[in-house]
Structures are given as structure tokens and as C-alpha cells.
Structure 1
């Protein structure tokens, strides 16, 4: 009888083991290049609002990479040591980030890229947007207002990050169609409004009355340039200015006719990446974010696509209020 009871207990344990594994709360980490500015704050908040997180199926930990590839590598070490089930990676550096991905791969932890690219074939998937397209769209907005003639400056993202590399490619693609436009200055503002303001103050002094257009590779830097123009007592409307992201201040600036911007959907990128990361850790998972119905051209394909590209939305005076309402 005792042997029979032991056998029944063992049998029950074997039957329940898979069920327990299925019910295990997944632990997913996300390392971002930095959380100082609004865009990545929106991206990070969207993870916490994902239905699988709110229902308690998944625990998400967001790490601030502090704009340092080495800090991000240490964060990977932490997640590997603590046996996270999957990692979402928004890398600071397109090349340096590959080492971190290799470490996670060697530890058997799937890595999903989001928002910024890393030069690695080991990512499970990438969920972001086409930055070459964004660079071309923003440059075209500036060039159209300039009438394809005059001088402009380019405020770049952090050198070596994929957004900087790919948006510059798009900028130059648009510039090639306007051979009479001269680029007076091109320098990094590190995605920072304050750094861009300082750059622009210097350029307005170095090139008095010569700058007609400003390409900011993100909205924060375009907004910094606007602050510099106002501080110099100049009229913002005399300049053609564009940025990328659709952050709140930029949308309001578009409403005032000060600049052009393109919305990069942080919510869709983050929640899409989390759906794919959960799928990589649990093969039975079905996506729970509404973004797959919001963007029907971005097919879920059972979480198996290498690239999920969220479309850009140009910010206009007509759609600005609706975009702002979606933030509340």
C-alpha cells in the first residue's frame, strides 16, 4: 500500500510539473539606452501598461542604460545572473551592443531588439521603425520649406547609435535631391535638448543670418534649436525646422507652426517587443497588446518575424490634438 501511495504521489507530481511550468510568472528585463527624455519614458511606461504585465502573468524590470554601452553590458550580466526569461534591448551603440547579445545568447536567454538597432544576427526579433525613412521625411519637410535652396545645419543623435546612422542616411538621401542646399554644420547633440541649444547658439553666432534650415534627428534637439533661436531674439518662423518622435512639446510646437515632426509610436514598439519576448519564452503565448489591430499591416506571424516595423505618423495641425489626447 505504501509503495502504491508513493507511486501515485510521484505520478501526480509528474502530471502537475508541466502545468506549473506553464503557470510560472515570466521575468523579463528591458535595458534602455537612457531615460532622461520623454520618448524613452513613454516607451518604458508602455511596458508597464501591457495587459500581460497588468494581469500579473509577467514581471517587467526596466533598466536605465544611462547613455553608456558598458552600463548596458553590466545590466545584461545582472539579468543573466538572475536568470531572466527574456531581454528587450534598446542599445546605445550599434556595435558595442553585440557583445551583450552574445552573452545572453550563450546563456540561453532570448533577446528582442526594440527602437534602436544592434549589429547582431542573434536577436530573436526587432520591433521598431524604419529610421532611414524618418531621416528622409524630416529632411524633406525642411527642404520643402526652404524651396530646395539655402543653408542648413544637422543636429545628429549620439554617434554610433543606429538612429544617428540611419537617420543621417535618410537626411543625405533627401539632400541629394537638392544640390543647391549647403550643409554648414553637422554635429551630435546626443538626443539632448540642452546640448542642441548650446550647439545652435554657437552656430547662430558663427553663421549670422546664414542658416535657413535645421534638421534635428530627434524632437528634443529640434526643440533645443528653437530655444536658441528665441533666445537670440530671432523669429522661429524664419527657419525651416524638423525633428522626429512626436514628443509632447514637439506636437505643441507643430500646432504653433514652429516645426515639423513625425510620430514614432513608442507604445507600439514597446508593447510589440514585449509580446514577441513573451512568445520567445512561452511558445503557447498569444499576443495581448492591441497594437496588432491598430497596425494591421504589421502581421503578428506567430511572433516569428525578424523585423516588425511600426509605421511613422506625420504630426500635423489637424491630428495634433488627437495625438496629445492619447497621452492622457
Structure 2
């Protein structure tokens, strides 16, 4: 994070490449007109940033997007990619009850990449961070064979206890916040080159996590997790961490009529999208048996003794979601 010039994006021809503009020129472009929040004591421009942590603890999560594996520029705009990178990171710390305070962003790209692409990614990241009251305080830019976006988010618990995966108790209600299967259905439509489902395509490109519902639940939930790999897969993570079994009814999982319509157009079972599709970035939590679940949450099941996830009376011991080293011949975007 050495010193660099701040060149307004409009001062460079949009067709210029990253190699022509240079590392510090690209970084400087991303900072023009940006305002840091009060938590940023020292932002970009020195060897490291300084971010205050009023709680005395910092919640940290990192995620990476790789071109061709997690996004395609012919499907998503650079700004969409930046916003998606932020959303998937923030959902991880919000599921623990934290609020984001700062981001660091590392970008890799070929030297021939148009600088306008990185301008767009930076714009999406900054806009999303600003919407959340956070800032981008540093990072790195390197040459790579494809575009890589790596984001780390710092979060503040505000003096509250973290909500972890391992807190589910037998008898708890299992509830979800958000709608599920929309991103996976959007991906299926893009792969099949089918138009006519704008909401699904938009939510595949940029997820819309229900942050407010997760924050509302943080004082009452026994356990909580972000749904990034799919409902079954992430409920299994929660069940394994807590040493319990989770039983759910598939019909209770909140979704959209468009998911069913898209599944019909694609000739597939909509439950594959709803239960196994990832990247919706909703939330799952467990609450005491007699608790009133907060607004925005839908009860879909119960915690029992045992292991694994039971769906409609059938134990789903494995599978049911995305994992990074699956042998796919398509991107997981």
C-alpha cells in the first residue's frame, strides 16, 4: 500500500490497458472521490491501514472469485462482479452477528485487461461497502493469467456474543431468512441461453442477502450460518458443528414462483435449485422451541438428536450443494 497518484478515471482513455496505466495508476483511480468511514483511522497510501475496533474483537472473513470459475464477463458486468464479491463476504460475518467496518481487496489480472474493467469492479466494491457504512482500506494488484478478485472483510460485534454454528440444541426451531434457488436457477438459464426471467438473472449476478433479518436474529438465535453452498449443504455444516440432526420440510423453504417456472423451462426438478443451489446468501438459524422468530424468518424444521439432514423424512447424508473442487465443466457463477 505504497503512495500513489489519484488519477480520475475519466482522465484515461477507457480502452487503455492495466499495463499502460500501471499498478499505482489503477489503484489511484479506485480512490478518487471515495470517503472513508470513521472506523478508518488510516486508509490507503501507507504501508498498512489502521482500523479502529470499538468492540475489542474483530470478525474476519475472506473469499475469492476467479474468472471462468465464479464469474464470466459475458454474463456479468464488472460492477456486478464487485458487488457480488462484497455480498458473499459480508454474509459470512453477518451470520455471526457482526457488522462490516472495512474491506481489503486484492486483484489479479492479465496485463492486457482494459482498465475500465477494473474501474467497474472497484466501483461495485466501493458502492457496496459504502452502502454498508464500511470502507476499502487497502489491498494489492498483481498480474495473473485471469481476473481474480480476493476480498477480506473486517467486522464489529458491538459488544455482543458471536452467533456460531455449534450452538444448535435439540428441540430448536430451524428457520431460514431469504429466498432460495434463485441464483442457481439464474445460472441454469444462462447456461441454456434462455431469456425471460430478469429477477433470477439479476440475483445470480448480484445476490441480495437479507442482512437486516440476520442482525435481528443475532440476539435470539442459538446458531446461525450463511447459506452459500446450498440449503442442505450448509444445514449439514451447522448440524455437524452442533452434533445434532436437522429435519426440514422442503415445501416450507422460501423460494420464488419464477424458480419453478425456470425449472419447467429447463426440464429439471425445482427442488434441485431450492435445496442444492448455492450463492443465494440467505441465512439459516435455530431458535428455542418457544421463541418467536424475528420478522423475515420462516420456520422450516426442527433440531433432533442424531446426525445429518433429513428432508421430507429422508436422510441426506452427503451431497446436496456446491464445493470448490467439484469436477464441473462449467463455471460456478
Question: Is TM more than 0.5 here?
Answer: no
TM-score, length basis structure 1: 0.24
Please identify which structure carries the higher helix content: 1
Please identify which structure carries the higher strand content: 2
Compare CA radii of gyration and give the structure with the larger one. 1
Q: Greater RCO between the two (CA within 8 Å, min separation 6)? A: 2
